[in-house]
Chains A and B, each alone.
Chain A
Amino acid sequence: GDSVTQMEGPVTLSEEAFLTINCTYTATGYPSLFWYVQYPGEGLQLLLKATKADDKGSNKGFEATYRKETTSFHLEKGSVQVSDSAVYFCALSDHTGGFKTIFGAGTRLFVKA
Chain B
Amino acid sequence: EAGVVQSPRYKIIEKKQPVAFWCNPISGHNTLYWYRQNLGQGPELLIRYENEEAVDDSQLPKDRFSAERLKGVDSTLKIQPAELGDSAVYLCASSLERGVTDTQYFGPGTRLTVL
What residues of chain A have their CB less than 8 Å away from a CB belonging to chain B? 4, 31-32, 34, 36, 42-46, 49, 51, 89, 91, 93-95, 98-101, 103-106
With A43-B109, A99-B56: A105-B42 Cβ-Cβ less than 8 Å: yes
B98 at the interface (CB under 8 A from A): yes
Q: Are A106 and B40 in contact (CB under 8 A)?
A: yes
A-B contact count (CB 8 A): 56
Q: Chain B interface mostly helix, strand, loop or mixed?
A: loop
Q: Are B91 and A104 in contact (CB under 8 A)?
A: no
What residues of chain B have their CB less than 8 Å away from a CB belonging to chain A? 3-4, 33, 40-45, 48, 55-56, 91, 93, 98, 100-109
CB of A41 to closest CB in B, whole Å: 8
A43 to B94, CA, bound (A): 13
Q: Are B107 and A43 in contact (CB under 8 A)?
A: yes
Q: Which 5 pairs from chain A and chain B are nearest by CB?
A: A103-B42, A93-B100, A43-B106, A44-B106, A43-B108
Q: Are B104 and A101 in contact (CB under 8 A)?
A: yes
Residue of A nearest to B42 (CB): A103
A31 to B71, CA, bound (A): 31
A32 to B103, CA, bound (A): 10
